[in-house]
Amino acid sequence: MSRWLTEAVPRGRVAAFRTLVYLFVAADLVVFTPWVRDRVDVPGNLYQPLFVGRVLPLPTPTATLVSVIFWALLLLALLAATGRAPRLLGWTVFALYLEWMIIAMSYGKVDHDRFALLVALAVLPTAGRARHGDPTRTEAGGWALRVTQISVVCTYFLAAWAKFRFGGLDWATGSVLAKAIIRRGTDLADLIAQVPHLLLVAQFGILAFELLSPLVFVLPERWRLATVGFFYSFHLVTIATITISFAPHLVAMTSFLPLEKVRPLVAVRRLLARRSTPDRRRLGSDPLSADTPPVPDPATP
C-alpha cells in the first residue's frame, strides 16, 4: 500500500500540476467566486460557519477581512504558480483559500466540487521543489498526486453514498434530473428530456458511475486515462445540459494526467522560432538585402 501511495512520478508533472492549481485559485477569485466579497453585505447573524470554522474558531467576516484575504490570496497564488518557495507559499495559499471557502460556504449551500482542490492545496507544499520538464522522479510528488486522486474519487463515491443516505432508491427513480432541467436546463437538456425514460436511465447511470469510480485505480494506465476521459465527458454533458461546471474538481482531476508532456511555453517558443526562421531565410536570399554583395556594373572595367 505504501508503495502505491508514494509511486514516483516525474517532477515535471508535479510542477505542471502545481502551476495549474495555483493559477486556477487566482482565476477562481475573479471568475467563479467573486461573489464571496458580497457576503459581508448581509447581517452577521446569517453567518453560520462550517464545522471547521467553529473548531478553529474563525471570526465573522468583515469587509476588511474579506478584502485582505482576496488581495493577499490573489497575489500569493500567482507567486506560488511560479514554483518558488513551494512550502511557504503553498501553506499560505492553502490557509487563505480554506478561509475563503469557509466564508463562501457558511451562508447556506455547500459545494462539494471543491473538496479535491482543497486537498490538492493541502498536499502540494509537501511535494518539494519541482521544475517544468524535469524527468527525474519523486516519491513525495507522487504521494501528493495520489492523495489528490483519492480525493477526486471520494467526491464521486461519497456523492453516491449521500444520495442513498438522504434519498435512497427514490433518487434514481424520482425526478431529480427533471427538476434540475426545469431550474437551469439548456436547450439541449430540453431536447433530452423529451426522450421517454431517458432521464431515469441517466439517474441510474450516474449512481453506477459514482459507485464504480474507485475501480479507476486498478485499471492499466491506458484504460485509466480512458476512464478519466469519461469522467471529463460526464462533466462536459453536465455543463451542456444543466450548466454546472465543477471547474475546481476538473482541475484537481488533472492529477491523473501526464501533465509533464504538456508544455505550452515550449510550444509557443518553437512556434515563434519556426515563424522567424523562414523570415531569416528570405532575408538572406534577397538580392537587395544588406548581406548580399553588390553586383558589379558590366560597364565598369
Span 25-64, pLDDT tens digits: 999 999 999 999 987 788 888 888 888 888 988 888 999 9
The β-bridge partners of 10 are 137
Say whether the peptide bond before residue 125 is cis (omega within 30 degrees of 0): no
pLDDT at position 279 is: 57
Phi and psi torsions of 138, nearest 5°: -135, 130
| Residue-wise pLDDT tens digits, 98-120 | 999 999 999 888 888 999 999 99
pLDDT at position 272 is: 78
User: Which sign, positive or negative, has the C-alpha torsion 107, 97, 31, 231?
Assistant: negative
Helix (H) or strand (E) holding 246: none
How many other CB atoms sit within 10 Å of the CB of residue 300? 5
Lowest mean pLDDT among 146-150, 157-161, 288-292: 288-292
Beta strands in 109-223 (DSSP E): 137-138
CA-CA distance, 109 to 242, in Å (whole number)?
Answer: 18
Question: Do 26 and 158 form a contact (C-beta atoms < 8 A)?
Answer: no
pLDDT at position 45 is: 81
CA-CA distance, 21 to 151, in Å (whole number)?
Answer: 15
pLDDT-derived band at 278 (thresholds 50, 70, 90) equals low
Inter-helix orientation angle 115-123/86-105, to 10°: 160
Please provide the DSSP assignment of 24-60 as one string.
HHHHIIIIISGGGGGGGGS-GGG----HHHHHTT-PP
Residues 166-191, mean pLDDT to the nearest whole number: 93
Question: Do 211 and 157 form a contact (C-beta atoms < 8 A)?
Answer: yes
Domain boundaries, the chain: 2-263
CA-CA distance, 106 to 170, in Å (whole number)?
Answer: 29
